[in-house]
Amino acid sequence: MKQYYILTVIGLLILSCSQAQQSELPEFFVDTKQDSSLPLSEIAAEITAIELELTDKSMINPDAIARIIIAENNIIVADRLRGVFVFNKDGKFVQSIGSRGHGPGEYNFVWTIGFDDKSKRLFITSFSPSKIICYQLDGKFLKESQLYSFGFYHDINYFNEKLYLDFISIQDGKLATRILYRLNENLQVIDSIIHRESRFERNYNHSFHFCDYIIKRNTSVYMYFPENYSKKDAPEVIVLRDTLYRFEDNHLVPELKLKFKNDGLDGLGNKIIDLYNIFRSSRYVFAIYDINPNNSTRNEIKKCHFCYDTKAGKGYNMLDGYTDDINGIEKRVSILPLHTDSEIFYYWHTNMKPDDREESNPTLYIIKLKK
């Protein structure tokens, strides 16, 4: 009897410790019915505007920009359809990197880019064919690597002298395995973490054309892993991935989570939230998601942005983005974190002048967040 009592007490202590650890994870409620008009002046300490020069060799499709990297005196723009372009700090075009094709050092579709400031190496993940390509910033092709015959190279970033790759491996068309790789100088795998496996009733179809899953803040690396399918592709899966992770000692540690009403489900148990990403800075928590409140046609899907000010203890939910009250842009804007410094965000907008006969390249706006 005494032994049973001791075991019971130990069990209760373990349960209480587990519950305490779960309760310590910060949660931020997202009011999906709210539509705030959050001015950028509320979160930005300063905003710098840089007009990107338009030439015959530097035409950017603003709807196809995957990532922008700011490296010392260079601005590197990845246009998924047209390639990778380098500008100087004033926005003057310098050169393009790589070319379209199927040969060594060539790509047809740029997924995203990463950059090593120390060695000045640029990493490009491409689709069709799926591979990693490494260049010098001057455009010299160095090497490339292909991990699997079929899969999606979702995100790539270089932090703390380590190259991280977020990859989805596809097997038999129905098993998707999401893997976080760490690569060496020769683009060979030295570490890997299988984050999860998902099996589908029908062939897997990649749905989210997004990146920025691996972000650095100070010396920490943060990662978000969404479900990359639509409801029609995987009607059997209804889990909302609402947690941001921190990479620590080769493990993924929960950092924070978002809290949606009914965990993102409607009254019938249907998933109505597709969460694209979660970011964080020292003061703010950001997220981008889609909501389909009536769980019906795509015409009713609304893209929302969420920002929580931890200093003020207040959250903002916005349809279509933020209000640029500093530069007077009428259309709401979407902001993204600089992949190496989450205290810096950016967005772009094409400014048309009355005498412009054709559309110019977008203007890049760099936001230094308040702390």
pLDDT tens across 292-314, in order? 877 666 667 889 999 999 999 99
Give the single-character DSSP code of 263.
Answer: G
Could you report the per-residue pLDDT of 168-211, keeping only the tens digit for each?
777 766 667 778 888 988 888 888 887 766 665 555 445 556 77
Residue 126 lies in a domain: yes
Closest of 371, 70, 67, 339 to residue 217, by C-alpha: 339
CB 197 within 8 A of CB 177: yes
The pair of structure tokens assigned to 68 is 């922008």
Cα 252 to chain centroid, rounded: 17
Residue 60 lies in a domain: yes
The Cα–Cα gap between 145 and 22 comes to 40
Residue 141 lies in a domain: yes
Could you report the per-residue pLDDT of 314-345, keeping only the tens digit for each?
999 999 999 999 999 989 999 999 988 899 99
Residue 9 lies in a domain: no
More confident residue, 235 or 62: 62
The Cα–Cα gap between 194 and 177 comes to 7
The Cα–Cα gap between 198 and 31 comes to 29
CB 135 within 8 A of CB 105: yes
The Cα–Cα gap between 83 and 53 comes to 16
Q: For the domain that residue 258 is a member of, what is the CATH number? A: 2.120.10.30
Residue 217 lies in a domain: yes
Q: Which residues contact 241 (CB under 8 A, 6 or more apart)?
A: 224, 225, 226, 227, 275
Residue 206 belongs to what domain range?
27-369
pLDDT value at 9 more than 60: no
Q: How confident is the model at residue 6 (pLDDT cuts 50, 70, 90)?
A: very low
Backbone angles phi, psi at 300, to 5 degrees: -95, 0
pTM of the model: 0.86
pLDDT of residue 355: 65
Residue 3 lies in a domain: no
Closest of 335, 331, 324, 368 to residue 40, by C-alpha: 324
The Cα–Cα gap between 307 and 319 comes to 12
Could you report the per-residue pLDDT of 246-301, keeping only the tens digit for each?
988 878 899 999 999 888 888 777 788 888 899 999 999 999 998 887 766 666 78
Number of domains in the chain: 1
pLDDT value at 138 more than 60: yes
The Cα–Cα gap between 242 and 253 comes to 14
Residue 8 lies in a domain: no
Residue 189 lies in a domain: yes
The Cα–Cα gap between 38 and 46 comes to 16
Identify the sign of the CA torsion 199, 203, 207, 213.
Answer: positive
Residue whose tokens read 């609304």 = 302
